[in-house]
Structure 1
Amino acid sequence: MDMTKSVAQSLRHARHDFLNELQLISMYLDLEKPEKAQAIIRAHAEAAVQLSHLSALHMPQMEEWLLVSKWRFPEIRFVLEVSARTGNPELDGAFARTLEAFFQSVRAELDPYVEYVCTISIFGEGPSLAAEVSLNGDWASLEFPVESAINATKACEGDRSKWTIRAQMEG
């Protein structure tokens, strides 16, 4: 998995994004559209809560993958939802490598004229931790590459596909 970004590179990306968002807030305030500025602030506050929940899972490789995914895959807008309160550290690397392999497969099939939005929902607790990946577009032919410790199920509904990845059940 080639995720190598230095801390300085990651912070440069974060700083750039942060300044862009501040400019948007300032612009909306100058245009006397405070509700739009407040919506941006609320969205960032909610994202911060989700990142706090992600950190509490104690799965640093998956956390890092999710934190830098928007810069590594700028063609996709990622939305993170974390309802789990305990993670599965034993499968940390397997989850991160599975997400990486999947999005590398997706990248090869992206249409440059489509806006892609991907919601990643992490739910369950400990050994039953799972992640649902929901991506707009017709992905019926795309398989989710998984490691032996992980399994994936797919559901395609019109112009949206969902994959649920979780620990492989024993037996």
Structure 2
Amino acid sequence: MINENQLVEVFRATRHDWLNQLQLIKANLALNRLDRIDEIIHQIVEEAQQESNLSNLKAGQLTAFLLLHKSLNNDYPLKIEVEPLTLDLSKEDEAITQSLETLITTIKTLIPSIPILISIYKDDHEVCLSLQLSLGEPLDIGALQQTAASLTMPFDVFQDEEAIYFTMNLHTL
């Protein structure tokens, strides 16, 4: 899982991000740009809320993987959006995490440097995990479809002009 060096690197990256945010607030305060300070604080609170929602899913491996990836992979910036859900994913945690890790590793080998949006949300009678890769142009997704379908927890894949979408059913309600 996570080793001591990775943990220290996560703390370093988190501290660096916090200091950047504080410097932005301080600079905007000096310029009396209170509206911009409000925006920065809103972004900080929103990101903390998303991470809290993720932590509340009782999926320790998934949470650790996503937060580690978010802190350490600048070539693949990760945004996390998680609806506030009362759900225990502890039984599926390892399979979800392994499948997601395999899919992201495949993405990294096929697509250089792309932002990734990960969403966990309730949809009708199920809870889903979705990845969205925003593209500048259509891409041959055959290898990604093959990988996504072969995972322990498989993803459905589709593409439009703007993005590739991967969706996994996490839990049926």
Please tell me the TM-score bracket, short chain as reference.
0.7 to 0.9
- Looking at structure 2, the residues matched to 85 and 139 of structure 1 have their Cα atoms a distance apart, in angstroms, of 37
Segments of 5+ residues of structure 2 without an aligned counterpart are none
TM-score (norm 1): 0.81
Residue 103 of structure 1 aligns with an amino acid whose one-letter code is I
Q: CA deviation at 1:139?
A: 4.5
Partner of 2:151: 147
Q: 1:8 Cα shift?
A: 2.4
CA RMSD of aligned residues (A): 2.6
Flag the 1:17–1:164 CA change in 2: closer, same or farther, 3 A: same
Equivalent runs, 1:87-98 vs 2, <5 Å: 87-98=88-99
Structure 1 residue aligned with 2:60? 60
Which residue number in structure 2 is paired with residue 47 of structure 1? 47
**Does residue 163 of the first structure (1) align with residue 166 of the second (2)?**
yes
From 118, 121, 137, the counterpart of 2:119? 121
Once the two structures are superposed, what CA deviation does each residue of 1:117-156 show, in whole Å capped at 9, x if it has no partner? 322111239x9432011110144413344532x1211121
Match of residue 25 from structure 1: 25
Question: In structure 1, which of residues 128, 131, 137 is the aligned counterpart of residue 129 of structure 2?
Answer: 131
Change (3 A) 1:7 1:72: closer
> Which letter maps to 1:81?
E
Identity of aligned residues (%): 23
Give, as a single letter, the amino acid of the residue that structure 2 aligns with 1:122: I
Conserved in 2, the CA contact under 8 Å of 1:118 and 1:135? Answer: yes
Distance (whole Å) between structure 1 residues aligned to residue 109 and residue 34 of structure 2: 40
Partners of 1:154 and 1:50 in 2: how far apart? Answer: 24
In the alignment, is the contact (CA less than 8 A) between 1:62 and 1:95 conserved in 2? Answer: yes
Contact kept, 8 Å, 1:88 with 1:129, in 2: the verdict is: no
> What SS does the corresponding residue of 2:99 show, helix, strand or coil?
helix
TM superposition shift of 1:90: 1.2
Tell me if structure 1 keeps the 8 A contact 2:129–2:170: no
SS at 1:71's partner residue?
helix
Q: Contact between 2:55 and 2:63, CA under 8 Å: does it hold in 1?
A: yes
Q: Give the letter for the 1:147 counterpart.
A: L
Gapped regions of structure 1 (runs ≥ 5): none
**Relative to 1, partners in 2 of residues 1:40 and 1:136: Cα closer, same or farther, differing over 3 Å?**
same
* Residue deviations 1:72-93 (CA, integer Å, cap 9, x gap): 3211222211123213211101
Contact 1:151–1:167 (CA<8 Å) still a contact in 2? no
